[in-house]
């Protein structure tokens, strides 16, 4: 139903919450980095919040529609144009067969989302249509969209003119600085008090050596508790080494002296400590940040992180659409 004229930098099929229940077999959840924008886009076109749509990274695609449908573009403002004319974002728009949608570079934010009434109908793999690039599964044959591909879409019943309330939209950082919530653990006791204070007081820079597997951070050296330096040999030689363990999604994985946030396509286990974890409700900020921008981490409790998730779920509902 949709022909890919230009693919964009990395445009992939994703659904929410992704591929759940297979991480112990090496398959991460994948799914949209900014699930807030993604879910609202789906609601605008009459889909369930988790229906498969497109995630567009840094530069959007050009798509031609072969049938009449309804679409919505949310997330980073990639200046969408329909038949060469500016198209509103955070609003459902009816499109006709033969019309072309073009997205470009975002002025603020990093990832845009395209929802189509009915949802993308690629075959699910292990219960999800989400693309996991490094294993080549899900989506359009396991990879980002390519020029000339035809993206299948299910029958939908969306209508144009539906909008997201202003107070229900995420706010992207125009000053290139983000406050990111973190929960201590699971290995926070391997870092000393000075190391924790330094981590929370530092503006960490997002490295260009980052992708959907991990967000690498640049900043000061870490210092460690005695248990990290006086340990049994099976834990490894470096203070940040630990006997292989499972990693939570969002773990800030300390590889030597380099913290790496394990995001949607991250590994499920390894031999490094994870002193902090970014809760899922804060992932949208990671998804909308760019290399060179900075993070300041704010410590919250597990209960506060869970409340953030409940609040975000309430926002990503029909109550936010008019």
pLDDT tens, residue by residue, 245-303: 999 999 999 999 999 999 999 999 999 999 999 999 999 999 999 999 999 999 999 99
Of 108, 109, 292, nearest to 208 by C-alpha is: 292
pLDDT tens, residue by residue, 58-93: 999 999 999 999 999 999 999 999 999 999 999 999
Question: Is residue 173 pLDDT above 90, yes or no?
Answer: no
Tokens of residue 191, six digits: 């870092």
Q: Is the dihedral of CA 166, 169, 175, 180 positive or negative?
A: positive
| Residue 303 included in any domain | yes
What pTM does this model have?
A: 0.96
pLDDT given for residue 174 in this prediction: 84
Question: Is residue 167 pLDDT above 90, yes or no?
Answer: yes
Q: DSSP letters of 105-125?
A: --SS-SEEEEEETT-B-PPPB
If you search the block for the tokens 């508790």, which residue do you land on? 225
Q: Which helix (H) or strand (E) holds 43?
A: helix 35-44
Distance of alpha carbon 153 from alpha carbon 175, whole angstroms: 38
| Residue 171 included in any domain | no
Distance of alpha carbon 46 from alpha carbon 220, whole angstroms: 47
Decide which of 118, 136, 163 is a domain's last residue.
Answer: 163
User: Which CATH number does the domain housing residue 302 bear?
Assistant: 2.40.100.10
- Asked whether residue 73 falls in the same domain as residue 196, the answer is no
- Asked whether residue 9 falls in the same domain as residue 151, the answer is yes
- Asked whether residue 212 falls in the same domain as residue 297, the answer is yes
Note down the domain range covering 159.
2-163
Q: What is the DSSP letter of 151?
A: E
Domain count, the chain: 2
| Residue 32 included in any domain | yes
Decide which of 132, 163, 194 is a domain's last residue.
Answer: 163
| Residue 254 included in any domain | yes
Question: Is residue 141 pLDDT above 90, yes or no?
Answer: no
Decide which of 141, 163, 185 is a domain's last residue.
Answer: 163
- Asked whether residue 221 falls in the same domain as residue 102, the answer is no
192 burial type by CB count under 10 A (0-12 exposed, 13-18 middle, 19+ buried): middle
236 burial type by CB count under 10 A (0-12 exposed, 13-18 middle, 19+ buried): middle
pLDDT given for residue 245 in this prediction: 96
Average pLDDT over residues 22-47: 96
| Residue 320 included in any domain | no
């Amino acid at each position: 139903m949709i022909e890919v004229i230009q693919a964009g930098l990395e445009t992939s099929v994703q659904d929410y919450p992704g591929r759940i229940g297979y991480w112990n077999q090496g398959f991460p959840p994948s799914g949209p980095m900014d699930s807030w924008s993604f879910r609202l886009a789906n609601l605008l076109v009459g889909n369930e919040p988790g229906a498969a749509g497109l995630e567009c990274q840094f530069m959007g695609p050009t798509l031609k529609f072969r049938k009449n449908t309804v679409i919505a573009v949310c997330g980073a403002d990639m200046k969408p144009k329909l038949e060469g004319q500016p198209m509103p974002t955070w609003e459902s728009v009816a499109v006709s067969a033969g019309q072309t949608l073009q997205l470009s570079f975002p002025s603020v934010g990093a990832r845009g989302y395209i929802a189509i009434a009915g949802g993308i109908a690629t075959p699910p793999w292990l219960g999800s249509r989400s693309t996991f690039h490094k294993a080549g599964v899900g989506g359009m044959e396991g990879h980002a969209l390519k020029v000339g591909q035809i993206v299948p879409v299910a029958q939908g019943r969306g209508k144009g003119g539906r909008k997201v309330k202003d107070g229900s939209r995420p706010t992207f950082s125009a000053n290139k600085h983000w406050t990111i919530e973190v929960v201590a653990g699971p290995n926070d006791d391997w870092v000393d008090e000075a190391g924790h204070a330094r981590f929370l007081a530092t503006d960490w820079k997002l490295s260009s050596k980052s992708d959907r597997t991990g967000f690498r951070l640049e900043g000061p050296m870490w210092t460690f508790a005695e248990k990290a330096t006086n340990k049994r040999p099976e834990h490894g030689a470096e203070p940040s080494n630990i006997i292989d363990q499972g990693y939570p999604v969002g773990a800030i994985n300390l590889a030597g002296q380099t913290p790496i946030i394990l995001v949607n396509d991250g590994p499920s286990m390894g031999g490094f400590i994870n002193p902090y974890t970014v809760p899922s409700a804060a992932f949208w900020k990671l998804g909308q940040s760019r290399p060179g921008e900075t993070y300041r981490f704010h410590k919250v409790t597990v209960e506060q992180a869970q409340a953030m998730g409940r609040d975000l779920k309430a926002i990503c509902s029909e109550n936010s659409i008019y």
